[in-house]
């Protein structure tokens, strides 16, 4: 059995694994955490994997589900981590009863400028409200001060993957920028500067911890 893989290599990989592999497969309950600087991340990983019996095979997860037990996954990027669970019985719900949240019940996960939840039967990745407001405010401030090429360059190189909700947010910003530029008699920004395709990345690093059973 391959070792259990849980450590994201990049921000994009973390978001991809969370949205596509976990939230989309029913892992809606979550507990966020951050490993203190004085602690060894690998030691924390090992402790959590063992405590919640996470590193198990798909067959074991299936068998537990049939018995009404939840499955739990662990996901980490640098020192930020998530414990994620499906519906059912599990020690995690007892240990973390006061802090556990549900991404499918209006409690999205906030990570690296994203807000990641589960709405209408699917995972949703969008810019967090603060991130959206910061980007919009900055581009509106620059909208009549720099040329279209410079604005388009900034938008094209935003460090956020263009999931559908992110694209819609960026199109809204472009419309606001163009409204100001039109009023000032300036050339409009081409909406095609908003990236339309996200990068599919190798989400998780190889791991030597937590052999499946």
Residue 174 confidence (pLDDT): 98
pTM summary value: 0.93
Radius of gyration of the chain (CA): 20
* C-alpha of 12 from chain center: 8
Residue 29 and residue 82 in one domain:
yes
Give the three-class secondary structure for 117. strand
What value, to the nearest 5°, has the Cα angle with vertex 121 and ends 118 and 124? 35
Element (H, E) at 95: helix 91-95
Is pLDDT at 97 greater than 90 in this prediction? Answer: yes
pLDDT digits (tens, 9 = 90+) for 123-139: 999 999 999 999 999 99
Same domain flag for 61 and 88: yes
Which pLDDT belongs to residue 213? Answer: 36
Domain boundary among 94, 126, 158: 126
Measured between alpha carbons, how far is 43 from 210 in angstroms, rounded to an integer?
12
Examine residue 120 and state whether it is found in any structural domain, yes or no: yes
| Region of 144 on the Ramachandran plot (φ > 0 left; ψ -120 to 50 alpha; else beta) | alpha
For 160-202, write each residue's pLDDT tens digit. 999 999 999 999 999 999 999 999 999 999 999 999 999 889 9
Q: How far is CA 23 from CA 74, 86, 182, in A?
A: 12, 9, 41
- Note whether 104 and 119 are same-domain residues: yes
Q: pLDDT above 70 covers what percent of the chain?
A: 96
Within a domain: 43: yes
The answer on 177 and 76 residing in a single domain is: no
Residues 112 and 159 in one domain: no
Same domain flag for 139 and 174: yes
């Amino acid at each position: 059995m391959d070792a259990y893989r849980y450590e994201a290599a990049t921000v994009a990989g973390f978001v991809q694994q969370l949205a596509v592999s976990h939230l989309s497969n029913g892992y809606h309950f979550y507990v966020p955490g951050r490993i203190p600087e004085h602690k060894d991340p690998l030691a924390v990983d090992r402790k959590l994997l063992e405590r919640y019996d996470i590193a198990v095979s798909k067959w074991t997860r299936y068998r537990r589900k049939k018995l009404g037990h939840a499955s739990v996954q662990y996901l980490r990027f640098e020192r930020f981590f998530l414990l994620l669970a499906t519906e059912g019985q599990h020690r995690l719900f007892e240990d973390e009863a006061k802090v556990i949240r549900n991404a499918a019940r209006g409690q999205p996960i906030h990570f690296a400028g994203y807000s990641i939840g589960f709405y209408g039967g699917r995972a949703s990745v969008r810019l967090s409200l603060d991130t959206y407001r910061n980007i919009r405010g900055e581009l509106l401030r620059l909208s009549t001060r720099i040329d279209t090429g410079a604005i388009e360059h900034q938008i094209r190189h935003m460090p956020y993957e263009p999931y559908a909700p992110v694209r819609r947010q960026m199109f809204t910003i472009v419309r606001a920028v163009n409204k100001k530029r039109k009023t000032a008699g300036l050339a409009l920004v081409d909406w095609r500067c908003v990236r339309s395709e996200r990068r599919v990345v190798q989400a998780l690093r190889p791991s030597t911890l937590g052999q499946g059973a």
